[in-house]
Amino acid sequence: MGTLINKNDTDYTGNTKTTIRKYIQGENTMDFDTLKQSSSNFDKLTKAIEANLNPEDKQNNKSKYQDDRFWKPELDKTGNGFAVIRFLPAPEGEDLPWQRVWSHAFQDVGGWYIENSLTTLGQKDPVSEENTRLWNTGLDSDKEIARKRKRKLSYYSNILVVSDPKHPENEGKVFLFKFGKKIFDKITEAMQPAFEDENPINPFDFWKGANFKLKIRKVDGYWNYDKSEFEGVSQIKESDDQIKTLWSTQHPLKPFLAPDNFKTYDELKEKLNRTITGVRSATTADKTDLPPQNGSTVAKSNDVAPTSASDDDDTLSYFSKLAEEE
């Protein structure tokens, strides 16, 4: 009779990977009582499997495992969406009511490259470096590749859902909200109005902020937020006690910049090389040179990661600036 799995091995949140490997290889076997007892650990085992998915698997399963902390608007059958939300101030112990993260999402012969960019942390990033090189060649074909691999800017904030007609059960609850440059521009315009007859407001203020009417239309297949607007200034709750309770339920934002949310430069370079060539390098990433590219390797437009018009971040001006700095 084989060795029974000990208490530590059955800790699915800790040594699951080792346990499963040993069990599959026959190094450990379960007796019936242990097997029956472990049948109640299905949820823990599922979480352990998720934790060991590689990045590609995580992306493919993204729709299956959603983060309940996040709120996302939903469109109706006509392709329109409406909700009222309130942006919340910085969580306790933090300075800003938002965090911003740069990322890249594109497809080539080796599959998808979907990764956070190290430029978020003020560090060198292999995709940005490669885009600079491509742009500096002066070739239109190389510039087209760089355009399709451009950075995407996302913001993360806490919000209170005031009205959600599609999901009224969300109303009155605090969520994380991921949004792009277009919505952040609306926030900027509210804080720094262009005309003298408009009073600036702080949308993130509990007492002197304003609800945001999120109006979404489908324009050329993309989500458009142009009709979205802030309401008049209002206090978010009637009493300070209610406001304090609301504040205590906010989610921390600093973890979005935690190192474990970013791969290392070498890991990203290896991933980029694999995405471009379709071949996993046998050498270490720092010894792997990215292959030269020309117009023949330009991905078709339908191979580019779809981005909404609202998230149309820095475009040609960004790459032009990179070229000038080179």
Question: Per residue in 238-268, pLDDT tens?
Answer: 999 999 999 999 999 999 999 999 999 999 9
In the chain, which residues fall in CATH 3.90.198.10?
A: 81-99+154-256
Burial call 42-60: b when 16+ CB within 10 Å, e when fewer: eeebeebeeeeeeeeeeee
Q: What is the mean pLDDT of residues 143-162?
A: 96
Residue-wise pLDDT tens digits, 29-43 = 434 344 344 444 445
Q: What whole-number distance in Å separates Cα of residue 318 and Cα of residue 166?
A: 37
32 to 6, 40, 116, 310: CA distances (angstroms): 14, 14, 45, 56
Contact 88, 204 (CB under 8 A): yes
**Centroid of chain to Cα 51:** 17
Contact 105, 152 (CB under 8 A): yes
pLDDT of residue 222: 85
pLDDT band at 219 (very low <50, low <70, confident <90, very high): confident
Q: What's the pTM value of the predicted model, to 2 decimals?
A: 0.67
Per-residue confidence (pLDDT) for residue 43, from 0 to 100: 52
pLDDT of residue 220: 83
Backbone phi and psi for residue 5, each to the nearest 5 degrees, phi listed first: -70, 125
As a whole number of angstroms, the distance between CA 287 and CA 274 comes to 14
Q: Looking at residue 2, what DSSP letter applies? A: P
In angstroms, how far is CA 62 from the centroid of its own chain? 11
Pair 50, 83: CB distance under 8 Å = no
- The superfamily in CATH containing domain 81-99+154-256 is Replication Fork Single-Stranded Dna Binding Protein (3.90.198.10)
